[in-house]
């Protein structure tokens, strides 16, 4: 899938803090197996020293659209140099604003 939402989803994996600062909703929540529930500030802070993913593959992609709201669900396999692959089922929610798409939530469940 190559919609603006899917393109942005891939950027969140690969590009780091600047994407989050620009495209993460002010009240966003993210849930990670190793970190728990994080708000926007905690997510951005955690990215400052974290190594970025070198690649991510998204499969089993599903999209739900409703007006200005989109939900993406998929299986991910991400890689960093020297680490084993990270595999998770992911779900992200986006809202369309005058400035473009903003992520409102993201959750990862290890697979």
pLDDT at residue 16 greater than cutoff 90: no
Region 81-86 average pLDDT: 95
Number of domains in the chain: 1
Closest by CA to 43, choosing from 63, 10, 5, 16, is 16
Q: Is 43 helix (H, G, I), strand (E, B) or coil?
A: helix
% residues pLDDT > 90 (the chain) = 87
Region 12-18 average pLDDT: 93
Q: CATH number of the domain at 91, please.
A: 3.10.450.50
pLDDT at residue 11 greater than cutoff 70: yes
Range of the domain at 65: 4-110
pLDDT at residue 1 greater than cutoff 70: no
Report pTM. Answer: 0.93
d(CA 103, CA 64): 14
The long-range contacts involving 25-30, CB below 8 angstroms and separated by at least 24 positions, are 25/95, 25/102, 25/103, 25/104, 27/104, 28/102, 28/103, 28/104, 28/105, 28/106, 29/104, 29/105, 30/105, 30/106, 30/107
């Amino acid at each position: 899938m190559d919609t603006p939402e899917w393109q942005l989803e891939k950027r969140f994996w690969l590009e780091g803090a600047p994407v989050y600062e620009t495209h993460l909703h002010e009240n966003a929540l993210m849930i990670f197996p190793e970190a728990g529930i994080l708000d926007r500030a905690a997510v951005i802070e955690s990215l400052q020293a974290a190594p970025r993913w070198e690649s991510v593959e998204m499969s089993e992609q599903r999209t739900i659209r409703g007006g200005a709201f989109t939900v993406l669900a998929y299986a991910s396999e991400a890689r960093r140099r020297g680490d084993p692959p990270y595999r998770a089922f992911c779900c992200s929610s986006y809202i369309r604003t005058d400035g473009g798409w903003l992520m409102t939530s993201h959750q990862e469940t290890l697979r």
